[in-house]
Amino acid sequence: MAVRVELNHDGVKELLRSPEMLAICEEHAQKAVQKLGEGYEVTTHTGAGRVNASVVATTRETIRENSANNTVLKAVMSS
């Protein structure tokens, strides 16, 4: 039995740009930063289509570590 689902595109766009979705994204990014420790921070912004949260290495040491070992990616994927 097939079920047809029709999305409300305006509603999806509104959801992806909502403060609630920003809070969810920021929460995941903060969990990654907690695993990484000092030298990393979370940045957030609302883009044209959706909200974004990023984990950024802020010191030369953490930038080198992330470049060599993909530490940010590993921390985000394990959150």
pLDDT digits (tens, 9 = 90+) for 6-56: 999 999 999 999 999 999 999 999 999 999 999 999 999 999 999 999 999
Domain extent for 63: 18-77
Assigned domain for 60 exists: yes
In total, how many domains does the chain have? 1
d(CA 42, CA 52): 10
Read off φ and ψ for residue 37, nearest 5 degrees. Answer: 90, -160
pTM score of the predicted model: 0.84
Assigned domain for 48 exists: yes
Per-residue confidence band for 1, with pLDDT thresholds at 50, 70 and 90: confident
Assigned domain for 23 exists: yes
Assigned domain for 43 exists: yes
